[in-house]
């Protein structure tokens, strides 16, 4: 047991001290054993839970989940501090300097009266400070660990800033048809590698269309998935009411129940909006 004075209210310095104690010789065996790699998935999970709290518009839950993300940041910093690499204060120092440098219209004498001007300055400063000499550098710097749809949309947006983009949303949407035709041809050939490549191109074109239409492709697919689950649940309820098992029914019959489910949900949503 380590000596620690408990309080009614804690600050960031207390969190830093608690994590230090947890990883000390007299602390927790599990915490001492952790590495960046072993808790990598925890950071992803905690971040997703923050997003869930935001989607639920739950302030209390958001406060809790942001704390969990902050713990991850402090924990990773502590690992590096033990290796005499950097510490939490260094992380704070770097991000503060970054914010000041990238906001010359606030902390300097640069004029930027609109959001577009701010973003243009931000991109230019980012390229300079990161040593990005080519537009391609801005594309390759997009994290490969991002969800595929999110990464694709971000890459497309950065290509747009270099002038490589569709002229309008209609052109972006029309491209989907061309990619679909290429996928059909690949399917007809039976070549799995070609099918995978063309499927990827089709998905990428859908992301580009979403970007031009002002839609977040990741959120759009998330909503579509939730809608599918809801319809699936109602469909299963309808089938179960007749003492049947979904997996024993032909798809043609399931489609009938599916259409009924869509109608039921649509009426429920209409009543909710009235």
What local confidence, expressed as pLDDT, does residue 271 receive? Answer: 83
Instruction: Identify the domain boundary among 79, 99, 119.
Output: 99
Number of domains in the chain: 3
In a domain, 113, yes or no: no
Residues 6+ apart with CB under 8 A from 23: 31, 32, 34, 78, 79, 82
- The residue range of the domain holding 52 is 12-99
Q: Are residues 203 and 227 in the same domain?
A: no
pTM for this predicted structure: 0.71
Domain containing 61 — which CATH number? 1.10.287.1080
Asked if 20 and 80 sit in the same domain, the reply is yes
Q: Is 261 within a domain?
A: yes
pLDDT at 64: 97
Nearby residues of 169 by Cβ (< 8 Å), 6 or more positions away: 209, 212, 213
**147: closest CA among 80, 225, 77?**
225
Residue 198, burial from CB neighbour count under 10 angstroms (0-12, 13-18, 19+) = buried
pLDDT for residue 4: 81
pLDDT at 1: 66
228 and 205 within one domain:
no
One domain, residues 209 and 264? no
Query: Distance between CA atoms of 271 and 274, rounded to whole angstroms?
Result: 5
Same domain, 213 and 225: no
- Asked whether residue 110 is assigned to any structural domain, the reply reads no
For residue 229, what pLDDT is reported? 97
- For residue 41, what pLDDT is reported? 92
Domain end (from 217, 247, 264): 217
199 and 231 assigned to the same domain? no
193 with 232, same domain: the answer is no
Whether residues 175 and 213 share a domain: the answer is yes
pLDDT in tens, the chain (274 residues): 677 888 999 999 999 999 999 999 989 999 999 999 999 999 999 999 999 999 999 999 999 999 999 999 999 999 999 999 999 999 999 999 999 999 999 998 888 889 988 888 888 888 788 888 888 998 999 999 889 999 999 999 999 988 999 999 999 999 999 999 999 999 999 999 999 999 999 999 999 999 999 999 999 999 999 999 999 999 999 999 999 999 999 999 999 999 999 999 999 888 887 7
């Amino acid at each position: 047991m380590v000596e620690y004075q408990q309080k009614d209210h804690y600050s960031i310095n207390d969190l830093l001290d608690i994590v230090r104690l947890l990883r000390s010789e007299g602390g927790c065996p599990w915490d001492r054993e952790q590495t960046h790699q072993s808790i990598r998935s925890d950071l992803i999970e905690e971040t997703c839970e923050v997003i869930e709290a935001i989607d639920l518009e739950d302030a209390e839950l958001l406060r809790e989940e942001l704390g969990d993300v902050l713990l991850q940041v402090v924990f990773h910093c502590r690992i590096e501090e033990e290796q005499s690499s950097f510490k939490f204060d260094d992380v704070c120092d770097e991000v503060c300097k970054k914010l000041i440098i990238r906001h010359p219209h606030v902390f300097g004498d640069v004029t930027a009266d609109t959001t577009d001007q701010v973003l243009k300055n931000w991109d230019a400063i980012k390229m300079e400070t990161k040593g990005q000499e080519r537009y391609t550098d801005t594309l390759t710097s997009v994290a490969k660990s991002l969800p595929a749809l999110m990464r694709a949309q971000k890459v497309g947006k950065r290509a747009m800033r270099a002038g490589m983009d569709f002229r309008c949303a209609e052109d972006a949407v029309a491209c989907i048809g061309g990619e679909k035709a290429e996928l059909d041809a690949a399917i007809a050939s039976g070549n799995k590698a070609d099918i995978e490549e063309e499927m990827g191109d089709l998905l990428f074109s859908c992301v580009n269309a979403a970007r031009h239409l002002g839609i977040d492709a990741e959120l759009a697919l998330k909503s579509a998935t939730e809608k599918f689950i809801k319809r699936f649940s109602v469909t299963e309820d309808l089938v179960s009411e007749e003492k049947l098992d979904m997996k024993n029914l032909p798809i043609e019959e399931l489609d009938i129940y599916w259409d009924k489910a869509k109608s039921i949900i649509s009426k429920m949503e209409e009543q909710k909006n009235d």
